[in-house]
Structure 1
């Protein structure tokens, strides 16, 4: 197959699967979801293999044009292929995990998954693939809005007043963020007569500043950065597999990815964008850390942890504007690595809900004696997220700090910012390790002692993510060379 065919297969097959999912009998819907998520994953892996074997560094295809104006197109390079594999394969893993989790055997949420759950999950997979592979701002904007609509449906899936309110908040905040992309698209088209992201490099400095501020605003909304972070903690009302996918692997990665893609295509970028990006990232980083200190609900703790981890990615990408290639590669590697490590953390939390009926950390004492797999998953996720070698988080954070301290020799104002980030990194390790010690070791609590066995589908996914939390950085490093 050609790269173009594989890309279209990856983007379109989940949408076709979503239509079939709502047409087939309810008991069949979840299997249709597995099938089409598998097809999309095969397409994403096929893109990576074909790109590698073809020896080309970047390929672009136009899909829809009016006259000379390209509206929708595809760009396949090492970065887009790497992130596509992450978002699509993790979509497959989450759908597989959902076979066990979305069932009457779940102690916290006994509920058989409805066809609409699997349909919207498939649409989200297709929309994420489309956004990552888009070669135009218009394409990014279209899929940006599709992901927002899917998140509204999935966050509000349980139809409780609390979840519906959280879903509406997520939709409104991210939709407000899309204004930034509208502004960026309008200014790029007005200046160049095209919507191509590659046209960013041809803009004059003042126009480029406006366009990048628009993209950054949209990125802040999707990636839950101050002041547009308010939707993410409340979104934890979603089913846990949804939390793992939307709030670790896909939706929150939209923002950092469109910012990274703009930096890659933008040529010389005004330093004011880097300054704003760095300052915003460090403020959000400190805020996120302070906010997850009082959390005892594991998912809310992970929500604020996600906000801080995304701040690290924004920090790395913003540092790259000052001329550091290491920072850019570190930021992209961080997107890839964090998706696997944080998905593992969320799915371990979901396993606690399923087997023990709670994800409240004070009630999870003694997990290691009752469920060694979940104890290992909790431990690996903790070490990976907080950047302890040899786990993938270390190989995301190390390039960031190396680049930041190197740049501080030329830009002295960066030194205190990097020191603050380093303090936060150490402190977050200490705090999450504290909860690991309180929750995993010791004599089992009543909830843990009465835990039921995990379904095989959930075990397989957790084991795979444990392995990837060790290996993903090796994959990313070798792929981006």
Structure 2
């Protein structure tokens, strides 16, 4: 039963993508809604079926050569939780695109082409496949599929800038995939299998090499130094693409494969935790410094995403020192941040559609012309900066609690946690500054002329506002 539902969730978007390219252009967007909806139903049904089962982990082998498992599925509380996030958010983004990808868009008047909806569906299916994969080879395959889709979607507008940005994203993430190739090769050499669970049986030296390979791939996909350069430029993509690829799905590939390796790795050499913490701290500071001068809301959110992903890497790295709280906090962060940051990106997209710009200095008095966008801006800002009762708080608090608790045995973590705490407070202050400049007050000339946004966009924004309040409770109860 679980195997059938999981396969439906993965395969249905690929089938939908093919049909999208075959039907008349006017019907393509509706085919996308249908198959994204089917995949979302499958993801939720998979989670419910797993929850009603009795096994903590269920693994299925789909393709083997002799005794070597090539592809398989792992269904557990983590994979089901993250699958729901990446697939359902894909459906919400496709629904949002119904309104955004039209000639009524003031910044980018353009009717969505079938290839846009087809690649969006392929991305949804690839993300489900990666999250549910039980082998490094399966992760690697879908890792590369997401890279190809991101290339197409980032370069969708076919402008010289967007094509250059798409190529940069493809090259950087493809170079990062070398890490997974190395990890898969060493794992197979030592164990004769590609199963992620086999990592636990490796000796410390080989395990270190495998984890370094996974971490390198994770840094590339999740835009951490020194492999971060592709993400800010990728903001030339359509905003729904930015919300999905660069908040909910693609950038979460890296932290997810690192988390899956940690969960399956048994006793992990502490050097991996040290490298992970140091890398996360450097990227955290860099990301914060870089988003201070940004005036384009999407570029600010891009650097904010780099910083938020650093918190997840910090949490996962702390878990290597023996903190289950840090691991659970990192997993919850992946889930919660997907909804909060997607909301912020889609608010930026709605401003582009309605006002014609997303440049912050030109935005003022949003609350008087677009109360929904003002509420969305406020909720998203409070959520990603970790203000209670929004979901970001319940992601950050376990990380700080776990980190400061670990300082009793690892004193060198104290300055790391203090720096992270300072960044968290400072980022709240900076986002609050732009909230005051952009949302309240008398409308600027461009904001005063704002046009209404379509119903499909409004519905998605309302859902994400609610999830930015509720997702942390879902994650906390699911991960118990």
TM-score (norm 2): 1.00
Does structure 1 residue 446 correspond to structure 2 residue 442? no
Q: Secondary structure at the match of 2:72?
A: strand
2:428 alignment partner in structure 1: 429
Q: What is the CA–CA distance in structure 1 between the aligned matches of 2:320 and 2:67, rounded to whole Å? A: 31
Q: Deviations over 1:412-435 (max 9, x none)?
A: 000000000000000000001000
1:222 alignment partner in structure 2: 221
Q: Deviations over 1:342-398 (max 9, x none)?
A: 000000000000000000011110000001000000000000000000000000000
Moved over 6 A (4+): none
Shift of 1:304: 0.1
Q: What is the CA–CA distance in structure 1 between the aligned matches of 2:376 and 2:41, rounded to whole Å? A: 26
Shift of 1:55: 2.2
Shift of 1:210: 0.2
Shift of 1:56: 1.8
Q: What is the CA–CA distance in structure 2 between the aligned matches of 1:54 and 1:217, rounded to whole Å? A: 36
Q: Deviations over 1:430-471 (max 9, x none)?
A: 001000000000000011100000100000000000000000
Shift of 1:326: 0.1
> What does 1:40-59 align with in structure 2 at a 5 Å threshold?
40-59=39-58
> What does 1:245-260 align with in structure 2 at a 5 Å threshold?
245-260=244-259
1:267 alignment partner in structure 2: 266
Q: Deviations over 1:137-171 (max 9, x none)?
A: 00000000000000000000000000000000000
Q: Secondary structure at the match of 2:108?
A: coil
Q: What is the CA–CA distance in structure 1 between the aligned matches of 2:412 and 2:190, rounded to whole Å? A: 34
> What does 1:291-302 align with in structure 2 at a 5 Å threshold?
291-302=290-301
Q: Deviations over 1:85-132 (max 9, x none)?
A: 000000000000000000000000000000000000000000000000
Q: Secondary structure at the match of 1:215?
A: helix
Q: Secondary structure at the match of 2:71?
A: strand
Q: What is the CA–CA distance in structure 2 between the aligned matches of 1:308 and 1:201, rounded to whole Å? A: 30
Shift of 1:26: 0.3
Q: Secondary structure at the match of 2:70?
A: strand
Q: What is the CA–CA distance in structure 2 between the aligned matches of 1:137 and 1:145, rounded to whole Å? A: 12
Q: Secondary structure at the match of 1:226?
A: coil
Q: What is the CA–CA distance in structure 2 between the aligned matches of 1:262 and 1:198, rounded to whole Å? A: 8
> What does 1:387-406 align with in structure 2 at a 5 Å threshold?
387-406=386-405
Does structure 1 residue 82 correspond to structure 2 residue 81? yes
1:32 alignment partner in structure 2: 31
2:375 alignment partner in structure 1: 376
Q: What is the CA–CA distance in structure 2 between the aligned matches of 1:285 and 1:416, rounded to whole Å? A: 13
Q: Secondary structure at the match of 1:171?
A: helix
Q: Secondary structure at the match of 2:224?
A: coil
Q: What is the CA–CA distance in structure 1 between the aligned matches of 2:178 and 2:139, rounded to whole Å? A: 13
Shift of 1:57: 1.1
Q: What is the CA–CA distance in structure 1 between the aligned matches of 2:256 and 2:282, rounded to whole Å? A: 20
> What does 1:233-382 align with in structure 2 at a 5 Å threshold?
233-382=232-381
Gaps of 5+ in 2: none
Q: Secondary structure at the match of 2:425?
A: helix
> What does 1:127-206 align with in structure 2 at a 5 Å threshold?
127-206=126-205
Q: Deviations over 1:266-300 (max 9, x none)?
A: 00000000000000000000000000000000000
Q: What is the CA–CA distance in structure 2 between the aligned matches of 1:176 and 1:440, rounded to whole Å? A: 41
- Count of aligned pairs between the two proteins: 480
Q: What is the CA–CA distance in structure 1 between the aligned matches of 2:345 and 2:171, rounded to whole Å? A: 24
1:126 alignment partner in structure 2: 125
1:23 alignment partner in structure 2: 22
2:466 alignment partner in structure 1: 467
Q: What is the CA–CA distance in structure 1 between the aligned matches of 2:293 and 2:198, rounded to whole Å? A: 46
Q: Deviations over 1:308-353 (max 9, x none)?
A: 0000000000000000000000000000000000000000000000
> What does 1:107-122 align with in structure 2 at a 5 Å threshold?
107-122=106-121
Q: What is the CA–CA distance in structure 1 between the aligned matches of 2:398 and 2:223, rounded to whole Å? A: 23
Q: Secondary structure at the match of 1:268?
A: coil
Q: What is the CA–CA distance in structure 2 between the aligned matches of 1:66 and 1:200, rounded to whole Å? A: 20
Shift of 1:54: 1.3
Shift of 1:242: 0.0
Q: Secondary structure at the match of 2:61?
A: strand
Q: Secondary structure at the match of 1:74?
A: strand
Gaps of 5+ in 1: none
Q: What is the CA–CA distance in structure 2 between the aligned matches of 1:439 and 1:401, rounded to whole Å? A: 31
Q: What is the CA–CA distance in structure 1 between the aligned matches of 2:54 and 2:379, rounded to whole Å? A: 36
TM-score (norm 1): 1.00
